[in-house]
A and B are shown apart, each in its own frame.
Chain A
């Protein structure tokens, strides 16, 4: 048999049928459902008199609209409340393997909840009406975001109409330097290949630095594959993957566990497998990353400066830089370390897992929020992450530092709930998108790792975490 990539293996094992033009019916094992992209899909099922093809493939939670404080008061925004209540009603009538509604202790951001419940397993196809579904590829799964029509299609048929992507290998060589996280690796890759660099590809992340990342770090990395244009990112299965999955609520047990592990251990690219594109980076070149613009590819490192549009020859790129600097309120050639921040947001499906919170807490411990910083929000990714952090006393460290410790949810990652930036406010954020208006109209986002965000919170500007 010819050598296959991990993606080839995951793809071919899920093909139900293939048309002459290469269009495939791809079988879906896990369907994660949240309140924003599902109502129209359930509505479509109802209108057509259809039900779920496989109820036990659906795992659901409410995350985008839920508030992160005053839970006793419920959801104040009536339109948000209606969307969350619509999900409650739809799950009630259609069913699901598991549902973690607003205020449930298992509730959380869909991409944090799935893995921690063992609802994401190696070898699965995982879809969700959310582009950051690529996160789950960290488990050696084929995972990607879909639109609402596809959500309805998967609900009704358990399949997706799909065409195979090309294979890309992104290899990060050498050991990861101290203080460099999955987030820095992700941003460095996007800085190198651009936000469309992965379009049309499924990316496998490999190399020594990737192997050394924890599962949390790998999830952060795969989460941002979509910011490089790739619908899916993935990492081969190893000991860390299997250790992480073991004992989780929906993970197999007993003899099935052994059979599963034997299969999962085959989920890696074969020696000599063909990749259509290979990108290599040296881990030793990666420094803590900070974005300066309105696209994740507009990134530099902590020793960098804001670029000068005058130095850009390409007129489209030059225009983008000019527009980004105007929106961000930045002057060309300003050192990144001189950029002051008003708000810090630590959270989102990119960086709200326990390890992220530990890294932020290690910086916050014994320090205080800078007087110039208006607010530091720490939003755990799920109720379980929150409980774990509290058991470790991280909440106290944050509160003593003057940070706010909130209830789980998407929060200021996209500001669909009440947590949002005011026009002109500048935020050091651990989320994944720095688009115009993403964190609130007129808000200015700089993407960084959790430790870098916490450091900005205690100093009032960006600093090199390795020198703090």
Chain B
């Protein structure tokens, strides 16, 4: 996994509540058996004027000029500013894969759907919860000044605006540790293989009906 430490990134505001994973990456792109290449289809139905299918040359498709991601001022944005319940709907990890592939490293919103929130951490993407008033303020500032950037410091757990105002954010120790180090979570868990085995052996004793010969 990609490590995350500190980022100074351009901000793109997506002013809609309840953005679901079907909107983030429509299902026709879930047929891929790969992990990469989803970026050009991020927000596909909002981003293009035609209907997207896997295998199309996205560079020649007609762009929707009214969709923020297509505004020249937001080209290369790494921080996505969003509204409440971002990432609701399906468990598809293709949603964080698409955000990552597009170049986003941070999503800031008043609230996230649980599964999406969790999936972000597995992919080096940092989801940050801020109170609705703070998110409102960031939307206002971002829309008012072209080239608006935020500095996100994971070690210090802060977001800093261009005027120097700082906001703290929460993250569990475990997630912070994994993100900072870009650690392979499976490898970390397997350090506890003996504990898993002894738990499993006890379970096999007490609930043998959960185990089968194959």
Q: Determine if chain A interacts with chain B.
A: yes
**Residue numbers in A under 8 Å from B56 (CB-CB):** none
Cβ < 8 Å to B, chain A residues 168-214? 195-196, 199-200
Cβ–Cβ contact B54 & A16, under 8 A: no
One of A27, A50, A250 near B199 (C-beta < 8 A): A27
Would you call B212 and A250 a contact (CB within 8 A)? yes
Question: Judging by beta carbons under 8 Å apart, are B32 and A79 in contact?
Answer: yes
Q: What is the CA–CA distance of A124 and B209 in the complex, to the nearest angstrom?
A: 11
- A130→B90 contact, CB < 8 A: yes
Q: Is A129 an interface residue (CB 8 A)?
A: yes
**Are A435's CB and B199's CB within 8 A?**
no
Query: Can you list 27 A-B pairs with a CB-CB distance of less than 8 A?
Result: A17-B195, A19-B174, A20-B173, A21-B174, A25-B196, A40-B33, A144-B115, A145-B90, A146-B118, A147-B92, A147-B115, A147-B122, A149-B93, A149-B123, A149-B185, A152-B186, A153-B189, A157-B196, A159-B196, A196-B88, A199-B114, A257-B209, A433-B22, A435-B23, A436-B22, A437-B22, A437-B26
Q: Which of B93, B172, B195 is the one whose CB lies under 8 Å from A147?
A: B93
- Contact of A256 with B by CB under 8 A: yes
Interface: A43 (CB within 8 A):
yes
Interface bits B170-214 vs A (CB < 8 Å: 1, else 0): 001110000000000110011011011001100100011111111
Cβ contacts under 8 Å, B14 to chain A: none
Contact with B along A246-283 (1 / 0, CB 8 A): 00001110001101100100000000000000000000
B47 in contact (CB, < 8 A) = no
Extra contacts besides A36-B92, A77-B31, A230-B114 (19): CB < 8 Å: A22-B172, A23-B172, A97-B212, A148-B35, A149-B119, A153-B186, A157-B193, A196-B84, A196-B88, A196-B111, A196-B113, A199-B113, A229-B114, A316-B84, A414-B22, A433-B22, A436-B22, A437-B22, A437-B26
Q: Is B89 an interface residue (CB 8 A)?
A: yes
Q: Which of A64, A196, A323 has the most C-beta atoms of chain B within 10 angstroms of its own C-beta?
A: A196
Give the distance in Å from the alpha carbon of A54 to the alpha carbon of B45 in the complex.
40
B192 close to A195 (CB less than 8 A):
no
The answer to the question of A355 belonging to the interface, with a C-beta cut-off of 8 Å to chain B, is: no
Interface residues on B, range: 35 or more
Interface string of B11-40 (1 = CB under 8 A from A): 000001110101100111011111100000
In contact, A416 and B28 (Cβ under 8 angstroms): yes
Pick the most buried of A29, A55, A199: most chain B CB atoms within 10 A of its CB.
A199
Contact between B208 and A256, CB atoms less than 8 A apart: yes
Are B113 and A56 touching (Cβ within 8 A)?
no
- Rounded to whole Å, the gap between the CB of A363 and the closest CB of chain B is 29
Q: In the complex the two chains form, what is the Cα distance from A295 to B23 in whole Å? A: 12
Q: Which residues of A contact B207 (CB under 8 A)?
A: 123, 260, 263
Check if A48 sits within 8 Å of B31, measured CB to CB: no
Residue of A nearest to B55 (CB): A79
For B94, give the chain A residue with the smallest CB separation: A148
Cβ 8 A contact of B31, one of A20, A83, A96, A133: A83
User: Nearest chain A CB to B200's CB is how many angstroms away?
Assistant: 7
A: residues with CB less than 8 A from B are 16-17, 19-23, 25, 27, 29, 36-37, 39-40, 43, 48, 50, 53-56, 64-65, 77, 79-80, 82-83, 86, 95-97, 121, 123-124, 129-131, 133, 144-150, 152-153, 156-159, 161, 163, 165, 195-196, 199-200, 229-231, 250-252, 256-257, 259-260, 263, 295, 316-317, 319-320, 323, 414-416, 433, 435-438, 441
* Measured CA separation A36–B91 after assembly (Å): 11
- Contacts A16-B196, A83-B33, A231-B114 given; indicate if A435 touches B22 (C-beta within 8 A): yes
B115 close to A131 (CB less than 8 A): yes
Q: Which residue of B lies closest to A157 (CB)?
A: B189
The 0/1 profile, CB within 8 Å of A marked 1, for residues 48-85 of chain B is 00010011000000000000000000000000000111
- Given A97-B212, A435-B23, is A157 in contact with B190 using a C-beta cutoff of 8 Å? yes
- Are the CB atoms of B210 and A29 closer together than 8 Å? yes
Q: Are A21 and B186 in contact (CB under 8 A)?
A: no
* Contact between B189 and A145, CB atoms less than 8 A apart: no
Q: What is the bound-complex CA distance between A441 and B85, given in angstroms?
A: 23
Best-buried of A36, A65, A129 by chain B (most CB within 10 Å) = A36
Tell whether, in the assembled complex, residue B88 and residue A195 are in contact, meaning their CB atoms are under 8 Å apart. Answer: yes
For window 94-110 of chain B, which residues contact chain A by CB distance below 8 Å? Answer: 96
Are A415 and B90 closer than 8 Å at their CB atoms?
no
CB distance from B73 to the nearest CB of A (A): 22
Q: Which residue of A lies closest to B198 (CB)?
A: A16
